[in-house]
Amino acid sequence: MLAWLLYAVRLLASVVMLFVTVTFLIIAAVDPKTRWLLLGMAGLFGVAGAFAWPRRPNAWRHDPPTDRQVAFARDLGISIPRKITKGELSDLISQAKQVRDAL
């Protein structure tokens, strides 16, 4: 639930920043006195809005596993399939740790 709330907040912040960017660009086209200032501010807000654009929650689970994650899984004795995601390997590591701790 918290992940979706953070997603919504970042999405709203991105939309607001991109709206401000467009507003600055429109004003810069009309007002030659402050054109360069507004273009610079539009660039800053545009970049910030683009970088604040959220990924879907738990998007990391679909990324490929890291080298450290693979090495740790091998240390635990896990056989790693060729096409495994970071999330799937994380689940296998959690299961292996539970089994190890139960012994």
Q: Are 44 and 73 within one domain?
A: no
Residues contacting residue 63 through CB under 8 Å, at least 6 positions apart: 85, 86
* pTM (global) more than 0.85: no
- What share of residues in the chain are helix, strand, coil (percent, to 5)? 75, 0, 25
Choose one of 57, 76, 91: the last residue of a domain: 57
Q: What is the pLDDT of residues 2-40, one digit of tens each?
A: 777 888 888 888 888 888 888 988 998 998 898 999 889
Task: For 46-72, write each residue's pLDDT tens digit.
Answer: 888 777 777 677 778 889 999 999 999
Whether residues 48 and 29 share a domain: the answer is yes
Which domain range does residue 35 map to? 2-57
Task: Examine the domain organization and report whether 29 and 50 are in the same domain.
Answer: yes
